[in-house]
Protein backbone atom coordinates (compact mmCIF):
# COMPACT_ATOMS: atom_id res chain seq x y z
CA UNK A 1 0.00 0.00 0.00
CA UNK A 2 1.34 3.43 -0.90
CA UNK A 3 1.98 6.16 1.57
CA UNK A 4 -0.92 8.51 2.04
CA UNK A 5 -0.09 11.85 3.62
CA UNK A 6 -3.72 12.58 4.39
CA UNK A 7 -4.08 9.31 6.28
CA UNK A 8 -0.94 10.02 8.29
CA UNK A 9 -2.26 13.47 9.14
CA UNK A 10 -5.60 11.96 10.20
CA UNK A 11 -3.78 9.43 12.40
CA UNK A 12 -1.73 12.20 13.97
CA UNK A 13 -4.88 14.25 14.55
CA UNK A 14 -6.73 11.30 16.11
CA UNK A 15 -3.86 10.62 18.49
CA UNK A 16 -3.58 14.29 19.33
CA UNK A 17 -7.30 14.28 20.12
CA UNK A 18 -6.71 11.41 22.57
CA UNK A 19 -3.96 13.39 24.24
CA UNK A 20 -6.24 16.43 24.49
CA UNK A 21 -8.90 14.29 26.09
CA UNK A 22 -6.41 12.83 28.51
CA UNK A 23 -5.38 16.34 29.41
CA UNK A 24 -8.93 17.66 29.77
CA UNK A 25 -9.87 14.77 32.02
CA UNK A 26 -6.88 15.35 34.20
CA UNK A 27 -6.48 19.12 34.25
CA UNK A 28 -3.59 20.83 35.91
CA UNK A 29 -5.14 22.31 38.96
CA UNK A 30 -2.28 23.75 40.89
CA UNK A 31 -3.37 27.34 40.37
CA UNK A 32 -4.06 29.07 43.69
CA UNK A 33 -7.71 29.30 44.51
CA UNK A 34 -8.66 26.45 42.26
CA UNK A 35 -11.14 24.39 44.22
CA UNK A 36 -10.19 21.20 42.40
CA UNK A 37 -6.90 21.36 44.17
CA UNK A 38 -8.42 19.86 47.28
CA UNK A 39 -9.54 16.72 45.49
CA UNK A 40 -7.71 13.72 46.82
CA UNK A 41 -7.73 11.95 43.47
CA UNK A 42 -5.72 14.69 41.77
CA UNK A 43 -3.26 13.00 39.45
CA UNK A 44 0.36 13.92 39.62
CA UNK A 45 1.19 17.20 37.90
CA UNK A 46 4.35 16.05 36.07
CA UNK A 47 2.34 13.73 33.83
CA UNK A 48 -0.03 16.53 32.91
CA UNK A 49 2.68 19.09 32.43
CA UNK A 50 4.54 16.68 30.20
CA UNK A 51 1.47 16.21 28.04
CA UNK A 52 0.71 19.92 27.89
CA UNK A 53 4.30 20.61 26.88
CA UNK A 54 4.16 17.85 24.35
CA UNK A 55 0.97 19.22 22.77
CA UNK A 56 2.33 22.77 22.74
CA UNK A 57 5.64 21.76 21.22
CA UNK A 58 3.92 19.70 18.55
CA UNK A 59 1.61 22.53 17.54
CA UNK A 60 4.48 25.01 17.62
CA UNK A 61 6.52 22.87 15.22
CA UNK A 62 3.55 22.48 12.88
CA UNK A 63 2.95 26.21 12.92
CA UNK A 64 6.60 27.12 12.29
CA UNK A 65 6.80 24.74 9.38
CA UNK A 66 3.56 25.96 7.83
CA UNK A 67 4.17 29.68 8.24
CA UNK A 68 7.62 29.36 6.69
CA UNK A 69 5.98 27.89 3.59
CA UNK A 70 2.77 29.92 3.69
CA UNK A 71 3.26 33.26 5.47
CA UNK A 72 -0.35 34.20 4.69
CA UNK A 73 -1.80 31.22 6.52
CA UNK A 74 -4.48 32.47 8.88
CA UNK A 75 -4.68 31.78 12.59
CA UNK A 76 -4.24 28.27 13.91
CA UNK A 77 -7.43 26.42 14.85
CA UNK A 78 -8.21 26.44 18.56
CA UNK A 79 -7.97 22.70 18.98
CA UNK A 80 -4.49 21.22 18.63
CA UNK A 81 -5.87 18.17 16.83
CA UNK A 82 -7.28 20.45 14.13
CA UNK A 83 -3.79 21.79 13.39
CA UNK A 84 -3.05 18.91 11.02
CA UNK A 85 -5.86 19.81 8.64
CA UNK A 86 -4.64 23.38 8.79
CA UNK A 87 -1.11 22.31 7.86
CA UNK A 88 -2.33 20.15 4.98
CA UNK A 89 -4.53 22.92 3.69
CA UNK A 90 -1.72 25.48 3.61
CA UNK A 91 1.02 23.25 2.20
CA UNK A 92 -1.06 21.54 -0.45
CA UNK A 93 0.68 23.41 -3.27
CA UNK A 94 4.02 23.90 -1.57
CA UNK A 95 7.24 22.77 -3.29
CA UNK A 96 8.16 19.11 -3.03
CA UNK A 97 10.90 19.69 -0.44
CA UNK A 98 8.45 21.50 1.83
CA UNK A 99 5.91 18.71 1.46
CA UNK A 100 8.54 16.10 2.24
CA UNK A 101 9.59 17.93 5.42
CA UNK A 102 5.93 18.24 6.34
CA UNK A 103 5.40 14.52 5.82
CA UNK A 104 8.40 13.70 8.02
CA UNK A 105 7.17 16.09 10.70
CA UNK A 106 3.64 14.71 10.72
CA UNK A 107 4.86 11.13 10.68
CA UNK A 108 7.28 11.82 13.51
CA UNK A 109 4.52 13.47 15.53
CA UNK A 110 2.11 10.60 15.15
CA UNK A 111 4.87 8.28 16.42
CA UNK A 112 5.50 10.63 19.35
CA UNK A 113 1.80 10.81 20.18
CA UNK A 114 1.50 7.02 20.10
CA UNK A 115 4.45 6.62 22.44
CA UNK A 116 3.06 9.23 24.80
CA UNK A 117 -0.19 7.26 24.79
CA UNK A 118 1.79 4.18 25.78
CA UNK A 119 1.79 2.49 22.38
CA UNK A 120 5.54 2.02 22.16
CA UNK A 121 5.09 -0.92 19.79
CA UNK A 122 4.60 1.52 16.88
CA UNK A 123 8.35 1.56 16.29
CA UNK A 124 8.56 -2.21 15.71
CA UNK A 125 7.43 -2.27 12.10
CA UNK A 126 10.02 0.26 11.01
CA UNK A 127 13.31 -0.42 9.34
CA UNK A 128 16.52 0.40 11.18
CA UNK A 129 18.26 3.34 9.44
CA UNK A 130 21.59 1.68 10.25
CA UNK A 131 21.31 -1.96 9.19
CA UNK A 132 17.98 -1.96 7.38
CA UNK A 133 16.45 -4.79 9.41
CA UNK A 134 13.04 -4.65 11.00
CA UNK A 135 13.36 -5.19 14.72
CA UNK A 136 13.33 -1.90 16.49
CA UNK A 137 12.07 -1.33 19.99
CA UNK A 138 11.54 1.59 22.30
CA UNK A 139 13.63 1.78 25.43
CA UNK A 140 14.65 4.58 27.76
CA UNK A 141 13.49 7.35 25.49
CA UNK A 142 15.03 6.19 22.24
CA UNK A 143 14.59 3.64 19.48
CA UNK A 144 17.00 0.71 19.65
CA UNK A 145 17.93 -1.90 17.12
CA UNK A 146 17.79 -5.56 18.13
CA UNK A 147 20.39 -6.63 15.59
CA UNK A 148 23.51 -7.44 17.64
CA UNK A 149 25.74 -6.63 14.72
CA UNK A 150 24.22 -3.17 14.34
CA UNK A 151 26.71 -1.11 16.33
CA UNK A 152 28.04 2.40 16.55
CA UNK A 153 31.77 2.94 15.83
CA UNK A 154 32.23 2.81 19.62
CA UNK A 155 30.75 -0.68 19.73
CA UNK A 156 27.50 0.37 21.35
CA UNK A 157 24.09 -0.85 20.22
CA UNK A 158 22.65 1.66 17.77
CA UNK A 159 19.95 4.04 18.95
CA UNK A 160 17.80 6.33 16.86
CA UNK A 161 15.55 9.29 17.34
CA UNK A 162 11.95 9.29 16.16
CA UNK A 163 12.96 12.01 13.74
CA UNK A 164 15.49 9.66 12.12
CA UNK A 165 12.94 6.85 11.99
CA UNK A 166 10.38 9.15 10.37
CA UNK A 167 12.91 10.46 7.84
CA UNK A 168 13.87 6.92 6.87
CA UNK A 169 10.25 5.87 6.62
CA UNK A 170 9.21 8.76 4.38
CA UNK A 171 12.26 8.22 2.15
CA UNK A 172 11.35 4.53 1.81
CA UNK A 173 7.77 5.42 0.89
CA UNK A 174 8.98 7.87 -1.70
CA UNK A 175 11.24 5.27 -3.31
CA UNK A 176 8.37 2.82 -3.38
CA UNK A 177 6.10 5.39 -4.98
CA UNK A 178 8.67 6.21 -7.64
CA UNK A 179 9.11 2.56 -8.49
CA UNK A 180 5.36 2.15 -8.78
CA UNK A 181 4.92 4.99 -11.28
ZN1 LIG B 1 20.09 -1.81 13.06
- The torsion of the CA quartet 160, 161, 163, 167, rounded to 10 degrees, works out to 0
The lowest-confidence range among 26-30, 70-74, 108-112 is: 26-30
Spacing, Cα 166 to ligand 1 middle (Å) = 15
User: What is the DSSP code (8-state) at residue 26?
Assistant: S
* Structural domain boundaries, residue 42: 1-118
DSSP state of 155: S
% of residues, the chain, pLDDT over 90: 66
> What is the predicted pLDDT for the residue at 41?
47
Is the pLDDT confidence value at 80 over 70?
yes
Taking CB atoms within 8 Å and a gap of at least 24, the contacts of 136-145 are: 136/160, 136/165
| Per-residue confidence (pLDDT) for residue 162, from 0 to 100 | 96
Whole-prediction pTM:
0.83
Angstrom distance (rounded) from CA 160 to CA 145: 8
Q: What total of structural domains would you count in the chain?
A: 2
Same domain, 136 and 178: yes
Same domain, 114 and 132: no
Based on the fold, state whether residues 75 and 17 are members of the same structural domain: yes
* 168 pLDDT more than 70: yes
118, 133, 166 — which closes off a domain? Answer: 118
Same domain, 113 and 125: no
Q: How remote is the CA of residue 161 from the centroid of ligand 1, in Å?
A: 13
Q: Are residues 75 and 148 in the same domain?
A: no
Q: Are residues 108 and 156 in the same domain?
A: no
User: Would you state the pLDDT for residue 31?
Assistant: 44
Find the 37 Cα to ligand 1 centroid distance in Å.
47
Boundary (domain end) residue, out of 118, 146, 168 = 118
| pLDDT of residue 66 exceeding 50 | yes
- Kindly state whether residues 109 and 124 are assigned to the same domain: no
- Quote the percentage of the chain above a pLDDT of 70: 84
Greater confidence (25 vs 104) lies with: 104
Long-range CB contacts for residues 81-85, cutoff 8 Å, separation at least 24: 81/13, 81/14, 81/16, 81/17, 81/20, 82/13, 83/13, 83/16, 83/58, 83/59, 84/9, 84/10, 84/12, 84/13, 84/16, 85/9, 85/13
Q: Is the same domain home to 156 and 166? A: yes
Residues with CB under 5 A from ligand 1 (ion): 128, 130-131, 145, 147, 150
pLDDT greater than 60 at residue 38? no
Residue 163 and residue 101 share a domain = no
Cα separation values, 155 from 49, 83, 99, 132, Å: 37, 42, 36, 18
Residues 19 and 81 grouped into a single domain? yes
Q: Are residues 17 and 45 in the same domain?
A: yes
* Residue 162 CA to ligand 1 centre (angstroms): 14
Q: What is the pLDDT of residue 25?
A: 66
Same domain, 32 and 15: yes
CA distance 53 to 47: 10
Residue 161, CB half-sphere, CA atoms under 13 Å: how many? 7
Query: Among 74, 89, 118, where does a domain finish?
Result: 118
Amino acid sequence: MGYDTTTAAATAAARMALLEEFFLEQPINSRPGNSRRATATTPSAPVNLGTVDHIRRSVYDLEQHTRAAAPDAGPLPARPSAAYDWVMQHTEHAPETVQRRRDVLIYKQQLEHAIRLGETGVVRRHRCPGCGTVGLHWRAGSVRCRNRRCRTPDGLGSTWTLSQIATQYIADQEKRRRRAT
